[in-house]
Amino acid sequence: MGKRVVKDLTYDAPLEDVAAMLTDAPFRERVLERMKVLRGTATAEPGATGTVVTLDQVQSTASLPSFATKVVGDEIRIRQVETWRTPDRADVDVTIPGKPGEMHGTATLTESGGRTTERVDLEITVRLPLVGGKIEGLVADMLVKALDKEHETGVEWLAGR
Protein backbone atom coordinates (compact mmCIF):
# COMPACT_ATOMS: atom_id res chain seq x y z
CA MET A 1 0.00 0.00 0.00
CA GLY A 2 2.61 2.60 1.03
CA LYS A 3 2.58 5.87 2.91
CA ARG A 4 1.81 9.19 1.25
CA VAL A 5 3.54 12.43 2.19
CA VAL A 6 2.24 15.78 0.93
CA LYS A 7 4.14 18.89 2.00
CA ASP A 8 3.81 22.53 0.93
CA LEU A 9 6.84 24.83 1.00
CA THR A 10 6.17 28.52 0.38
CA TYR A 11 8.77 31.03 -0.80
CA ASP A 12 8.53 34.83 -1.05
CA ALA A 13 9.68 34.78 -4.67
CA PRO A 14 8.20 34.41 -8.14
CA LEU A 15 7.87 30.96 -9.68
CA GLU A 16 10.68 31.65 -12.15
CA ASP A 17 13.17 32.25 -9.31
CA VAL A 18 12.07 29.20 -7.31
CA ALA A 19 12.24 26.98 -10.41
CA ALA A 20 15.74 28.26 -11.18
CA MET A 21 16.82 27.55 -7.59
CA LEU A 22 15.42 24.01 -7.56
CA THR A 23 17.23 23.17 -10.81
CA ASP A 24 20.55 24.66 -9.66
CA ALA A 25 23.21 22.11 -8.64
CA PRO A 26 25.07 24.49 -6.26
CA PHE A 27 21.82 25.16 -4.38
CA ARG A 28 21.14 21.43 -4.08
CA GLU A 29 24.72 20.82 -2.90
CA ARG A 30 24.20 23.44 -0.19
CA VAL A 31 21.04 21.61 0.92
CA LEU A 32 23.00 18.35 1.17
CA GLU A 33 25.65 20.12 3.30
CA ARG A 34 22.96 21.55 5.57
CA MET A 35 21.42 18.09 5.92
CA LYS A 36 24.81 16.87 7.14
CA VAL A 37 24.91 13.90 4.77
CA LEU A 38 28.01 11.72 5.03
CA ARG A 39 28.63 12.00 1.29
CA GLY A 40 26.60 13.55 -1.49
CA THR A 41 26.55 14.99 -4.98
CA ALA A 42 24.05 17.06 -6.92
CA THR A 43 23.80 17.52 -10.68
CA ALA A 44 21.42 19.41 -12.93
CA GLU A 45 21.46 18.40 -16.59
CA PRO A 46 19.41 20.44 -19.07
CA GLY A 47 18.08 18.35 -21.93
CA ALA A 48 15.51 18.22 -24.71
CA THR A 49 12.77 17.09 -22.32
CA GLY A 50 13.64 19.45 -19.45
CA THR A 51 16.16 19.55 -16.63
CA VAL A 52 17.06 16.41 -14.71
CA VAL A 53 18.24 17.05 -11.17
CA THR A 54 19.99 14.11 -9.50
CA LEU A 55 20.87 13.97 -5.82
CA ASP A 56 22.99 11.04 -4.68
CA GLN A 57 23.55 10.98 -0.94
CA VAL A 58 24.67 8.72 1.86
CA GLN A 59 23.20 9.29 5.31
CA SER A 60 24.01 7.77 8.67
CA THR A 61 21.36 5.52 10.19
CA ALA A 62 22.63 6.05 13.74
CA SER A 63 19.38 7.77 14.79
CA LEU A 64 17.13 4.98 13.47
CA PRO A 65 15.70 2.21 15.66
CA SER A 66 17.58 -1.10 15.65
CA PHE A 67 14.90 -2.93 13.62
CA ALA A 68 15.52 -0.45 10.78
CA THR A 69 19.32 -0.57 10.93
CA LYS A 70 19.13 -4.37 10.68
CA VAL A 71 17.54 -3.84 7.27
CA VAL A 72 19.61 -0.92 5.94
CA GLY A 73 22.90 -1.10 7.87
CA ASP A 74 25.00 1.76 9.30
CA GLU A 75 24.55 3.95 6.23
CA ILE A 76 21.83 4.40 3.67
CA ARG A 77 22.35 5.54 0.09
CA ILE A 78 19.49 7.54 -1.39
CA ARG A 79 19.26 8.48 -5.07
CA GLN A 80 16.70 11.16 -5.98
CA VAL A 81 15.95 12.04 -9.59
CA GLU A 82 13.69 14.98 -10.42
CA THR A 83 12.68 15.44 -14.04
CA TRP A 84 11.53 19.05 -14.50
CA ARG A 85 9.71 18.84 -17.86
CA THR A 86 8.25 22.34 -17.32
CA PRO A 87 9.33 25.08 -14.90
CA ASP A 88 6.34 24.30 -12.65
CA ARG A 89 6.30 20.47 -12.50
CA ALA A 90 8.70 17.62 -11.88
CA ASP A 91 8.36 13.88 -11.64
CA VAL A 92 10.25 12.72 -8.55
CA ASP A 93 11.70 9.23 -8.17
CA VAL A 94 13.69 8.22 -5.10
CA THR A 95 15.38 4.85 -4.78
CA ILE A 96 17.48 3.20 -2.13
CA PRO A 97 19.87 1.10 -4.24
CA GLY A 98 20.01 -2.49 -3.08
CA LYS A 99 17.15 -2.04 -0.60
CA PRO A 100 13.40 -2.72 -0.97
CA GLY A 101 12.25 0.89 -0.70
CA GLU A 102 11.31 3.68 -3.06
CA MET A 103 9.34 6.91 -3.41
CA HIS A 104 7.51 8.22 -6.46
CA GLY A 105 5.50 11.36 -7.01
CA THR A 106 5.62 14.97 -8.09
CA ALA A 107 6.81 18.43 -7.18
CA THR A 108 4.64 21.27 -8.45
CA LEU A 109 5.06 25.02 -8.23
CA THR A 110 2.21 27.55 -8.13
CA GLU A 111 2.57 31.31 -7.86
CA SER A 112 0.14 33.72 -6.27
CA GLY A 113 0.85 37.37 -5.56
CA GLY A 114 4.61 37.01 -6.07
CA ARG A 115 4.84 34.04 -3.66
CA THR A 116 5.48 30.52 -4.87
CA THR A 117 4.38 27.31 -3.20
CA GLU A 118 6.13 24.04 -3.95
CA ARG A 119 3.93 21.04 -3.27
CA VAL A 120 5.80 17.77 -2.86
CA ASP A 121 3.53 14.73 -3.12
CA LEU A 122 5.26 11.36 -2.71
CA GLU A 123 4.17 7.78 -2.11
CA ILE A 124 6.66 5.78 -0.01
CA THR A 125 6.78 2.02 -0.48
CA VAL A 126 8.90 -0.45 1.50
CA ARG A 127 8.38 -4.04 0.42
CA LEU A 128 9.20 -5.95 3.61
CA PRO A 129 6.83 -8.20 5.51
CA LEU A 130 5.97 -7.18 9.09
CA VAL A 131 8.22 -4.09 9.36
CA GLY A 132 7.55 -2.42 5.98
CA GLY A 133 4.89 -0.09 7.37
CA LYS A 134 7.09 0.95 10.31
CA ILE A 135 9.99 1.69 7.98
CA GLU A 136 7.69 3.68 5.67
CA GLY A 137 6.81 5.84 8.69
CA LEU A 138 10.50 6.38 9.50
CA VAL A 139 11.22 7.29 5.88
CA ALA A 140 8.29 9.72 5.90
CA ASP A 141 9.70 11.43 9.01
CA MET A 142 13.15 11.64 7.38
CA LEU A 143 11.59 13.07 4.21
CA VAL A 144 9.72 15.80 6.09
CA LYS A 145 12.91 16.80 7.94
CA ALA A 146 14.84 16.90 4.64
CA LEU A 147 12.13 19.05 3.02
CA ASP A 148 12.16 21.41 6.00
CA LYS A 149 15.94 21.77 5.66
CA GLU A 150 15.62 22.37 1.91
CA HIS A 151 12.96 25.03 2.56
CA GLU A 152 15.07 26.77 5.21
CA THR A 153 18.06 26.77 2.84
CA GLY A 154 15.89 27.97 -0.05
CA VAL A 155 14.49 30.91 1.92
CA GLU A 156 18.06 32.01 2.69
CA TRP A 157 19.21 31.37 -0.88
CA LEU A 158 16.42 33.46 -2.39
CA ALA A 159 16.94 36.29 0.13
CA GLY A 160 20.55 36.59 -1.05
CA ARG A 161 19.73 36.91 -4.75
Tens-place pLDDT, residues 20-43: 999 999 999 999 999 989 999 999
Q: What is the pLDDT of residues 70-79, one digit of tens each?
A: 776 778 889 9
pTM: 0.89
Q: Is the model's pLDDT at 66 over the cut of 80?
A: no
CATH of domain 3-159: 3.30.530.20
Q: Indicate the domain borders of the chain.
A: 3-159
Between CA 134 and CA 139 the distance in angstroms is 9
8 pLDDT above the threshold of 90: yes
98/75 Cα distance (integer angstroms): 12
- pLDDT of 4 above 70: yes
Around Cβ 65, how many Cβ atoms within 10 Å?
A: 12
Helices (H), the chain: 15-22, 25-34, 66-72, 132-159
